[in-house]
Structure 1
Amino acid sequence: MNSRRRIVLLAGAGILAALAGIVAHFPARLALAWFAPPGVVAWGVEGSVWEGRAAGIIVRGHGLGALSWDAQPAGLLTLQPAWRLDLRTADGFVSGRFATSLLGNRQRIDDLEGALELASLPPALVPDGVAGQARIGLQTLLLESGWPAAVTGRATVAGLELPGVILALGPFEFVFPEHDGTPVGAIRSLGGPLEVDGQIELPGSGQWRFSAELAPGENPPRELVDGLRFVGEDLGNGRRRLEMSSEP
């Protein structure tokens, strides 16, 4: 290696080290004040961008809980800084490794684990009137422009309450196997008054398709059996096919 190339490499390494040092010691309180998305407020902030915590995170007036973070330095070499995030809510937790690309609107979450009440999430994530207990175990969640472009793992929801539905449903299991192309997941009931066997597809940004066969499950109340008669297509023997999509 000639001396000029060695000098360039050493200078580049020195600049990267200096930038890493600045980032490591940059106060988290200032970073959140300057760069937090609209509608996101934090209080009780301690530490730096590299490692720290916030006693409370509020999203559009909805309190989420306490958040702590710890940087993963290897991502800086590929311009994809990453942090280990741990959110503690009043009734559960969510944790995972979050990485974002500095070259595009793309984020990746690995080893996403969580257990929480759906009603504790802001309306931007869960519509008003929806409640239930969720458990999450995703190996990979890739977001492009805020929409899932790849999903691998599973989640369950129990005691699902929906607007206009007079009884809690579930438990249900959502399974997204490793898959080339856009995400496709299976949805199955694990018991309860409503039997569900279907799938959900996410073909593109803002687009989704849902299809499933529905039938009375374990000890269904008369109201559910009667209500199913008005849902989707009749398949006989009390079974119905329901198809929905984001397209009009």
Structure 2
Amino acid sequence: MKNTLTLTLVFLVSFVLFVFWQLPATIAIQLSAPLLPPTIQFGQLSGSVWEGHVTEIRVQQMALKNVHWDITPAALLTGRLQLNVKVGNARDKDEISGHGDIALNLFNQHVTLDDTVLRFSVEQAMGHVTLPLPVEAKGRVLLNVSHFSMGTPYCESLVGDIRTPNIDVKGLNNWFSIGELEGGLDCKSGNIAITVSPDNKLGLQADALLSQNLQFNVNGKIKPDASLPKEVHDAVKFLGRADSDGYYPIKL
């Protein structure tokens, strides 16, 4: 009798694990729908819970296309949900693309990112910044995160950098380049902090904070290089009075 119960229990556990292992991603999303924010919308799903693909994930105005994921089952034995995620097409400059390793502690919901790369357009980034002057710009932003650990309100530790290989700005008559911008990433008061490297054509020196609602606050100064068009030098005068070194204040 004891052996029969043991065999039955082993069979039931094995059956449940097998069913869960083969559970289609579509059904998994349907079951978890009540737990997800209503602003998240999913495209066509394929594959399983462990390894799958969705054509698009849309969160308000942001769209992530061709999202692939691969979960590491062994990590669940240590109480962690660990997965590798790939997003978009790196060759398509209009798409958000990248990859990274994400881990979620199932006991305290602590999230970490490692070896993460994200690519997006300057236009997409500018959608979260309120500029003091109307600017039309284009370019590519490259975000590299060696390690990120979620904290309160959302940033506990962060090692990485962000850069734009080149930014083109639309002038009165044509487009012109303002060159490269780059900065280091860190955490400050629980928010993501960006320290802009001063070695750039704009002469931009700034510290920026990215809050939990994806809004930027920027404090710094700017002194455009003499090689930039006259309209750039004229535009920065609207920022306020220059200091004794010729820098104009920036506060966003």
Distance 1:119 1:213, change over 3 A: closer
On the 8 A contact 1:70/1:83 being kept in 2, the answer is yes
Alignment TM-score, normalising by the size of structure 2: 0.69
Which residue, 110, 117, 126 being the options, matches 1:113? Answer: 117
Distance 1:37 1:18, change over 3 A: farther
AA aligned to 1:134 is V
**RMSD, matched Cα:** 3.9
Please tell me whether residue 52 in structure 1 is matched to residue 52 in structure 2. Answer: yes
Unaligned 5+ segments in structure 1 are 1-10
Deviations 1:71-99 (A, max 9, x none): 12343234330210000144352100112
AA aligned to 2:223 is A
AA aligned to 1:226 is D
Partners of 1:195 and 1:107 in 2: CA distance = 36
| Residue in 1 that maps onto 2:182 | 173
On the 8 A contact 1:186/1:200 being kept in 2, the answer is yes
| Residue in 2 that maps onto 1:7 | none
| Residue in 1 that maps onto 2:4 | none
| Residue in 2 that maps onto 1:31 | 28
| Residue in 1 that maps onto 2:248 | 240
CA drift of 1:220 comes to: 1.9
| Residue in 2 that maps onto 1:5 | none
Distance 1:224 1:30, change over 3 A: same
Number of paired residues?
Answer: 224
Unaligned 5+ segments in structure 2 are 1-8
On the 8 A contact 2:100/2:113 being kept in 1, the answer is yes
Partners of 1:130 and 1:20 in 2: CA distance = 52
Alignment TM-score, normalising by the size of structure 1: 0.70
Please tell me whether residue 69 in structure 1 is matched to residue 69 in structure 2. Answer: yes
Question: Of Structure 1 and Structure 2, which has the larger fraction of its residues in strand?
Answer: 1
Partners of 2:24 and 2:138 in 1: CA distance = 37
Partners of 2:105 and 2:241 in 1: CA distance = 44
Partners of 2:226 and 2:141 in 1: CA distance = 21
User: Once the two structures are aligned, what percentage of the paired residues are identical?
Assistant: 18
Deviations 1:3-26 (A, max 9, x none): xxxxxxxx9xx97x8876554332
User: SS of the counterpart of 2:38?
Assistant: coil
